[in-house]
Amino acid sequence: MADEAAERIPKRLEREPLIEALWEVRFALDEGVTGEVLAGSLYRVLKQSCPRIVRLPAADIPHPIAKTDIRLRYVPAIRLEGSQQAAVAVQVGNRLVSLNNRRPYHGWAEFSQRVRQLVATLRDTGLVKRVERFSLRYIDLLELEPPPSLGSLRVRLELAGRDLTRLPIHFRTEISDAPFLQIVQASSPAEVTLRDEGRRHGTILDIDTIRPVEASDDGWKALEAELDEAHRRSHRLFFSLLTADALEQLEPVYEQ
């Protein structure tokens, strides 16, 4: 998949396009345990770093409805954050916990350490019956060409003989990279509002790297053992999707 420019993966980019990184784990809780109960247990440990509790809209949905409606099964209801302006927050639902890091993102070493600390805290609650899957998701805003344009990506899209790469578009596809599944979405034109940066326009590239956990597996062990591998595969796919010109414009920095 990778061309010559993408084979050598940069250590970092001077023009960082990342706007949000998200790690998420989905699970089944012990009988009778709700997301609010779990959030309370997590808060007792995380209150020094995340003292602010925010109720999200899903918190007002009656539990029997949220439990039976598949559309609501993996929706967070509580957010724990450091402050209203904090870049990092923990979100909790009846069947999920996520770590969300909006820009600024200080690199994989710091983010993965936060993930491992959260995994240990979640495991120690004793409330999770079985881990179902975990995922690592990166959302980037590419501002290299006037939107709408997929010109920064190694993508060819055609419909009835018409090139779609410079027309308004949103697409989603799934790529099997066993034992992972990678979901790639791209949207152009896209508008986002970033803290301290205001409104920005460009092309959204969203890569979600998912690791299902079989019922027979040790879910906690998989969370720890394959976290770095999820990052490696996501990193590799991102750079393989960039054109050589786009990569050059992002000012890559390589290992010496």
Per-residue confidence (pLDDT) for residue 5, from 0 to 100: 43
Task: Verify cis geometry, omega within 30 degrees of 0, for the bond prior to 252.
Answer: no
User: Contact 97/122 with Cβ under 8 angstroms?
Assistant: yes
Per-residue confidence (pLDDT) for residue 195, from 0 to 100: 86
Final residue before a domain boundary, out of 73, 105, 126: 126
Do 122 and 143 belong to one domain?
A: no
Task: Give residue 56's domain range.
Answer: 19-126
89-99: pLDDT as tens digits: 999 999 999 99
pTM: 0.93
Q: Is residue 173 part of a domain?
A: yes
Q: Is residue 57 part of a domain?
A: yes
165 CB neighbour count, 10 Å cutoff: 17
Do 216 and 237 belong to one domain?
A: yes
Final residue before a domain boundary, out of 107, 126, 145: 126
Q: pLDDT category, 67, cuts 50, 70, 90?
A: confident
Q: Is residue 12 part of a domain?
A: no
Per-residue confidence (pLDDT) for residue 7, from 0 to 100: 66
* Among the listed residues 18, 15, 12, the one whose alpha carbon sits nearest the alpha carbon of residue 192: 18
Q: Is residue 32 part of a domain?
A: yes
Q: Looking at residues 140-164, what average pLDDT do you find?
A: 96
* More confident: 235 or 64: 235
- Total domains in the chain come to 2
Q: For the chain, what is the mean pLDDT?
A: 93
Q: Looking at residues 138-147, what average pLDDT do you find?
A: 96
Which two three-digit tokens encode residue 142?
Answer: 């590419």
Do 83 and 156 belong to one domain?
A: no
Do 161 and 246 belong to one domain?
A: yes
In angstroms, the CA 18 to CA 15 distance is: 9
7-42: pLDDT as tens digits: 689 999 999 999 999 999 999 999 889 999 999 999
In angstroms, the CA 252 to CA 169 distance is: 28
pLDDT value at 79 more than 90: yes
The 8-class DSSP code of residue 59 comes to: G
116-125: pLDDT as tens digits: 999 999 999 9
Q: Looking at residues 217-226, what average pLDDT do you find?
A: 91
Do 206 and 158 belong to one domain?
A: yes
Do 119 and 170 belong to one domain?
A: no
Q: Crossing angle of helices 108-125/227-241, nearest 10°?
A: 140
Q: Looking at residues 238-245, what average pLDDT do you find?
A: 97
DSSP string for 89-125: EEEE-SSEEEEEEESP---HHHHHHHHHHHHHHHHHH
Final residue before a domain boundary, out of 105, 126, 147: 126
pLDDT value at 156 more than 90: yes
Q: Looking at residues 237-251, what average pLDDT do you find?
A: 97
* Phi then psi dihedrals of residue 110, to 5 deg: -70, -45
pLDDT value at 1 more than 50: no
pLDDT value at 162 more than 70: yes
Do 153 and 192 belong to one domain?
A: yes
